[in-house]
Amino acid sequence: MKASAPLFAAALFLGLSPAPLHAAEWSGALEQILKVGPEGAGNAEAAKAWGELTSHGAEVILPVLEAMETAGPIARNWMRSAVETVFERELAAKAALPADQIKAFVLDRKNEPNARRLAFDLYGKVSPDDAGKLIPGMIDDPSSPLRRDAVGQLLAEGRTLLEAGDKEKSLATLTRALDAARDIDQIDAVAKLLREKLEQKLDLPKHFGFLMHWHLIAPFDNTDRKGFDTVFPPETEINLSSTYEGKDGKKLSWQEYATSDDYGKVDFNTPFSPLKQVTGYAYTEFLSGTARDAEIRLGCKNAWKIWFNGELLFGRDEYHRGQRIDQYSLPVKLKEGKNTILVKACQNEQEQDWTAQWEYQLRVCDSTGTAILATDRKPTPEKVAPPRRPAADAKPADAKPTPAKPAQ
Amino acid sequence: MFFSRLALVSALVFNALVPARADWLNFRGPQGSGFDPAAAQTPAELSDKTLAWKIPLPGRGLGSAIVVGDKVFVTAASGPEQQQLHVLCFAVKDGAPIWERRFWATGRTMSHNKTNVAAPTPASDGERIYALYSSNDLVCLDLEGNLVWMRALTLDYPNASNSLGLASSPIVVGDTLVAQIENDSESFAAGFDLLTGVNKWKLDRPKSANWTSPTVVIKDGESIVALQGSDGILGLLPSTGSEMFKVAGGASTIPSSAASGDQLFIPSKGLTAVKIGVSDVTPEKVWNEANERPGTASPLVIGEKVYLINNAGVLTCIARGTGARVWRTRIEGPFSGSPVAGAGDRLFIFGETGIGQVVDLSGEEGKIVSKIELGETILSTPALSGGALYIRSDGHLWKFSGAL
């Protein structure tokens, strides 16, 4: 049953939450949607529930937003489309909308981050001016999608100040923006201005939480890409003083490695020279001040596997299709004290110049992308000027990147 | 009397099950091959005079528009990480927005900058829309925008992704939605139930990135879905996934085949024509032309002619029966989208720089008879329906109408 607009408006006027009046009407539908599972389980029932939810008026918006707190990603999408369907319909009909409750939902930082962003967008449609006023206060918001707008404002403001010649205020504004930024594109944009226009020295690896100090061992074999599934000694024991037999009978031992790359790239080609059809391992330890939830975020264009505290987290046998920061996010539970991380990176047989990379980048952060720093984090290594390459090694001017396809 | 009633009932049932012929239901329309002989009328030219309407889109996409009745549908992805997925419905008549549904991507949204999470073209059976994204989110909505089912395929199959981006478009064949989720790691194709989205079948596929889309070929009078991949063509009964035929010898993983009746024209070692034949008969190679090599655009078969566009922007017409070259002409590329045609001897193609071209195929040589610059990147394939042409650019959905 759809609540009449006057009754609903009266409820709002009286400061009552309309939800309890009709809770029983939609609670069953919400429960049904929460049950959607893998491989399409529960879809048919969820479709009926979705129809039931969207048959209600605006009174259903808040309860559905609140239900997102316990929903998985699929159920959350069912709920999102239900909320938006009802909202758009009621907005078009000029029906009463619970604007104040939606705003309160946005401002309550305990609510689910994506649901809050959705609520913010809805609020912006009924009170665009007031929604705009909320943005500056979101500069330290735990919801990355909300914080993004606030960082964007500071970035624009800093750029304007810079163009006006006010370097002092610009520096302060852009520094605030960098401290708050969690999205890669925004961090890059702010860092570029701070470095190039304001000559600031930045420690981006620390800002991101990249792990810069490792022990490496290579090359083990990866002929015919078989190394990905082959269990080499580092997968069964970590003994940094041991030596092992590697590819072609070569004696291998662990060696220390530190990267100074802004984005934490660990390059196997540097200590081992460019190689093909090989497997390498990298090991490090992470001292955590507390036991807590965290994410290991990886970028890698080689086949890879990761073990965390001895347990295989994930592996992927894709080669040279692209790499970026935070390409893969792997939830982990940090122990208080020492945690171990082992990375396996396989290089394949391809010879094109865009397949030379044998590297990865790895950081530890929370679910919002905020860096978690080890209690014994060493200073970021100073950058060293890259050695001059002889002309014969220079990349040809017509070198092409990995081809983008899509025929559509 | 009984028979006439039976005929009436049958006609009603048939009409209820079979979408109106003006519909363009998936990537490259009928048989997923770009040619619709029922499209008797197509725009006379591409110009300001024939531009019916132009509608802004909330995000990029490479997928084509599809048309069902009086509605046109298109997908898009937006946001800094392309995590907002859109399904949009507009009125054919005037482009008025009818509804929009948005979802959060649940799988990986990384792609090469040139492509986009909304690279696959949605599909329809005339009653529902099936929207697949490179993030492996697969959404079914009815024509009014009611959510029917959702799948988050990356949650089900965690290594099924391509860091360059997936682009294969799904297709409805009979009572099954068929999709190729083919990549270097957890590579598969699957048939999905139209009403619930559950797997009817799932098949391991070669561990190799593949951007081609399935086509439909007729064998023994039955619609068979043809999956193209690095190892060749695999023909499957769409409802069960049972193997019906194989064409070995490898095939391209970028341009898709064109089907025409019981023949397939496969981008393989140049271009290879294969007659599928009847049951228990191995498909027969009719010809192969190593020098006729489709670029990114997929080939097109119209009657007794095959048309292909190579990566140098040369449009070539060859004889269907022999593979012999009939004529060549240069058109303005480069192209990511594929050509389409209706019954009017006109080929329509849009290039990456936003140039739309109409090639008259009725003469002894192809002749460009109309050209328009839309001023936006276009990486998609047009749709033809109801005498109109629909094309999506990076920023807009465009409709051209005004038949010859």
What per-residue confidence (pLDDT) applies to B278? 78
Q: Is B159's CB within 8 Å of A316's CB?
A: yes
Q: Is B338's CB within 8 Å of A408's CB?
A: yes
Q: How far apart are CA A360 and CA A329, in angstroms?
A: 14
pLDDT band per the 50, 70, 90 thresholds, residue A385:
low
Domain that holds residue B47: 27-400
pLDDT digit string, tens, across residues A97-126: 999 999 999 999 999 999 999 999 999 999
pLDDT digit string, tens, across residues B171-201: 999 999 999 999 999 999 999 999 999 999 9
Q: How far apart are CA A355 and CA A340, in angstroms?
A: 29
Contacts with A238 (C-beta within 8 Å, 6 or more apart), sequence order: A283, A340, A342
Burial class (CB in 10 A: 0-12, 13-18, 19+), A283: middle
Residues A285 and A359 in one domain: yes
Distance from CA of B368 to the nearest CA of A (A): 22
Residues A74 and A106 in one domain: yes
In this predicted structure, the answer to whether residue A150 has a pLDDT above a threshold of 60 is yes
Q: Is B131 within the bounds of a domain?
A: yes
Higher per-residue confidence, B374 vs A405: B374
Distance from CA of A324 to the nearest CA of B (A): 8
pLDDT digit string, tens, across residues A343-352: 999 999 999 9
Residues A257 and A220 in one domain: yes
Q: Is B303 left (phi over 0), alpha (psi -120 to 50) or beta?
A: left
In this predicted structure, the answer to whether residue A280 has a pLDDT above a threshold of 90 is yes
Of B155, B199, B296, the CB nearest to A407: B296
Helices and strands in chain A, H and E counts = 13, 12
Distance from CA of B311 to the nearest CA of A (A): 12
Q: Is B62's CB within 8 Å of A44's CB?
A: no
Residues A270 and A218 in one domain: yes
Residues A312 and A344 in one domain: yes
Q: Is A32 within the bounds of a domain?
A: yes
What per-residue confidence (pLDDT) applies to A387? 55
Count of structural domains, chain B: 1
Residues A220 and A365 in one domain: yes
Q: Is A36's CB within 8 Å of B150's CB?
A: yes
Residues A197 and A335 in one domain: no
Minimal-distance CA residue of chain B relative to A72: B106
A233-253 average pLDDT score:
97
pLDDT digit string, tens, across residues A367-383: 999 999 999 999 999 88
Q: Is B22 within the bounds of a domain?
A: no
Minimal-distance CA residue of chain B relative to A315: B159
Name the residue type at position B269: K
Task: Determine the Cα angle at B216 with ends B210 and B221, to 5°.
Answer: 150
A328-333 average pLDDT score:
97
Q: Is B395 within the bounds of a domain?
A: yes
Q: Is A393 within the bounds of a domain?
A: no
What per-residue confidence (pLDDT) applies to B344? 87
The fraction of chain A above a pLDDT of 90, given in percent, is 86
Of B115, B152, B199, the CB nearest to A406: B115
Residues A291 and A328 in one domain: yes
Give me Rg for the CA atoms of chain B: 20
Q: Is B175 within the bounds of a domain?
A: yes
In this predicted structure, the answer to whether residue B2 has a pLDDT above a threshold of 60 is no
Question: DSSP letter at B35?
Answer: B
Residues A280 and A233 in one domain: yes
What per-residue confidence (pLDDT) applies to A9? 36
Of A50, A51, A80, the CB nearest to B102: A80
Q: Is A149 within the bounds of a domain?
A: yes
In this predicted structure, the answer to whether residue B19 has a pLDDT above a threshold of 60 is no
pLDDT band per the 50, 70, 90 thresholds, residue A404:
very low
Of B99, B100, B379, the CB nearest to A408: B379
The owner of tokens 């291998």 is A252
Of A38, A82, A405, the CB nearest to B155: A38
Distance from CA of A300 to the nearest CA of B (A): 10
Q: Is B2 within the bounds of a domain?
A: no
Residue B131 sits in a domain of what CATH number? 2.130.10.10
Q: Is B141 within the bounds of a domain?
A: yes
pLDDT digit string, tens, across residues B81-99: 999 999 999 999 999 999 9
Residues A186 and A224 in one domain: no
Q: Is A383 within the bounds of a domain?
A: no
Q: Is B90 within the bounds of a domain?
A: yes
Q: Is B10 within the bounds of a domain?
A: no
Higher per-residue confidence, A1 vs B321: B321
pLDDT digit string, tens, across residues B266-322: 999 999 999 998 777 789 999 999 999 999 999 999 999 999 999 999 999 999 999
Residue to mutate among B99, B147, B157, with most A CBs inside 10 A, is B147
Count of structural domains, chain A: 3
Q: Is A214 within the bounds of a domain?
A: yes
In this predicted structure, the answer to whether residue A65 has a pLDDT above a threshold of 60 is yes
What per-residue confidence (pLDDT) applies to A330? 97
pLDDT band per the 50, 70, 90 thresholds, residue A24:
low
Residue A372 sits in a domain of what CATH number? 2.60.120.380
Q: Is B150's CB within 8 Å of A78's CB?
A: yes
Q: Is A391 within the bounds of a domain?
A: no
Q: Is B149's CB within 8 Å of A46's CB?
A: yes
Which chain B residues are Cβ-neighbours of A64 within 8 angstroms?
A: none
Distance from CA of A334 to the nearest CA of B (A): 23
ipTM of the complex, rounded to two decimals: 0.92
pLDDT digit string, tens, across residues A207-231: 999 999 999 999 999 999 999 999 9
Residue to mutate among B139, B164, B230, B392, with most A CBs inside 10 A, is B164
Which chain A residues are Cβ-neighbours of B119 within 8 angstroms?
A: 406, 408
Distance from CA of B33 to the nearest CA of A (A): 12
Q: Is A102 within the bounds of a domain?
A: yes
Q: Is A322's CB within 8 Å of B110's CB?
A: yes
pLDDT digit string, tens, across residues B231-254: 999 999 999 999 999 999 999 999
Domain that holds residue A13: 5-138
Q: How far apart are CA A90 and CA A105, in angstroms?
A: 19
What per-residue confidence (pLDDT) applies to A4? 38
Distance from CA of B170 to the nearest CA of A (A): 12
What per-residue confidence (pLDDT) applies to B404? 47
In this predicted structure, the answer to whether residue B20 has a pLDDT above a threshold of 60 is no
pLDDT band per the 50, 70, 90 thresholds, residue A399:
very low
In this predicted structure, the answer to whether residue A395 has a pLDDT above a threshold of 60 is no
The owner of tokens 């997936």 is B166
Of B159, B167, B380, the CB nearest to A405: B167
The residues facing B355 across adjacent strands are: B373
